Structure 1
Amino acid sequence: MRSIALTNAHLEELKGKTVIVTGAAGGIGGETARTYHSHGSNVVLADLEQMRSFAEAVMASLSEPSRAMFVPVDILDWAQMTSLFRSTKERFGSVDVVVANAGVMESRPVLESNEVDENGDLKEPAEAYKVIDINLKGTLNTLRLALFHMAKNEPKFPDGSRGSVVLVTSTSGYFGGTGVAAYVSSKHGATGLLRASQVAANKVQIRVNGIAPSFTATRLTENFAKAWYEAGFEHNTPHHVAHVIAQMSVDPSRRGACCLVAGRILREMEHSRTDLLSEWLGDELVQFMNNVGGLLAGMGGLPLPKLPALQQEPRRSSRTSMNQASGLRNSGKASM
């Protein structure tokens, strides 16, 4: 298993760069905006309109608020996300780093729920759908727009990269023991997105990495924070996680990597997984998978099917907020 040392190496590269942080009105997102700003970056805080006062409080805490901007945005609304990137470039000239931090956790069990309607039929898990939409579809929207805009940049970093993206997933993107079905599923999806993005990102010289925080003290973890602390487990602060995010975004050796952060314990997950494949799966299966990869690469990628079901107009999801009191859609990253 590969350890990661938390250093300040390469952070000087952030000076003058423009960084978009989603879910930036508090928690990990707010501290991430502060961290980038402290290293000389322009920061764009993206969050729901209802979170404006919190985002403005973050900006007021910055030494040079003129290098910061709040953009109200719903990460599931493509038009709003398009406007976010356009307005960032209009204000600061380019988009150099994007941190896809926005996320949410369900407030009630999904698989164990026996809630029924007036006919006695099991109710549709609408909240779970929203969690998956926000954590996975919202992250996909963010990543797709980041790649599109960064591909037009001149090289921005000494290694020739045109930009850098960090996807904030979770330890739940690798483990599922908590049983929080929608959150765990969506975070596994975000880990899959990290892996699936590498071919496209490398073509346009953009580094895409991930970070998988364990328990981090935010609004979304306050219900069990006391028990966690009393147990004496390793834990994160938003500031600590933000520092790791910044480091991952500028380290030229990181491409397709993901750092699991559990307090003082930092482990690289993706390349460690690759290192262990033969031990895990056996040499024969690893060779088979490598051969398949070579075949598909020679074909220019996986030939995609055209299915009738995919030709239909997509069903539009609700834009209502999950929880007005805590602004669950974009803010206060929960990481478990």
Structure 2
Amino acid sequence: MAALAPPVAAIRVAVRRALTGLSSDGPVLVACSGGADSLALAAATVFVAPRLGRSAVLVTVDHGLQDGSTERAETVAAWGREVGFSSTTVVPVKVAGRPGGPEAAAREARYEALAEAARQQKAVAVLTGHTRDDQAETVLLALARGAGPRGLAGMPARRELDGVPLLRPLLEISRDQTRAACAVLGLSPWQDPHNADPSYARSRVRADLLPALVRALGPGVVDNLARTARMVAADNAALDELAETALAAARHPAGGLSVPELVGLVPAVRGRVLHFWARELGALPGALSHRHVAALDALVTDWDGQGPTDLPGGVRVLRRADRLSPVDPG
């Protein structure tokens, strides 16, 4: 028996680890665009899942942004049926008219479609093909945008997508490995022209910045950036736990938050407490920024009688003596 090619073996092991961590029964859903990363993920999942007693379903999202996108999506779905997925689905989405730039709009539409497909299929998890290289790019973009610890933590290996776990099994796998796995398996990945379009920030990072860093600092820079994300994510988790405890302790008997309790917190924890509380009040998570949290913090640490702080979503917060409280919109 011929030895299994190392890239194929590594990806199958990564998928097996991700699926073994699932507690409930049911199918797993693989998001597949037809690119090398998601194609290698899909091939590994359709091999591994049945051996763990699970079925696997494939979903490909048609963003409708390029000529021939529908035909390409149908080709991916047909491949999925050929290799043994229990079902395959093409989901068309509308990207135009959504807030934010084109990348953010396409991402939002894609995740909405995956969440809906997971509900329809009663899937216990959604798998995406983000790799270690994607993680390194995410960290660099977050650093350039001043995103802070949450941005530097990159993409989590697991998060909730409308109540369904979204798993990224390949965050320890390189893009070269997914390409090599596709070559070994005789798969022909689709080359997304958007990945080479310099009008997209991620494309510029991928084509220019990250290769320049590798040339200047050596090939280990990609793994080092991804490792940084893992370490920052662990620190974030610890600080979030402290902040949740501190938020409970800071709740004022008359409503809102107690200023003396907030003053006694270290800034890193207090900022998270204020962020969590702002979201509780209805501040829009996607628009809630460091600037808004800093304005809330000024009500605690630098208050001289200033008026309410405005948060995205129409939320206003006012300091009254020793407490912060939301302003009644009525």
> Structure 2 length normalisation: TM-score?
0.41
> Structure 1 length normalisation: TM-score?
0.40
Higher relative contact order (CA 8 A, sep 6+): 1
Larger helix share, 1 or 2 = 2
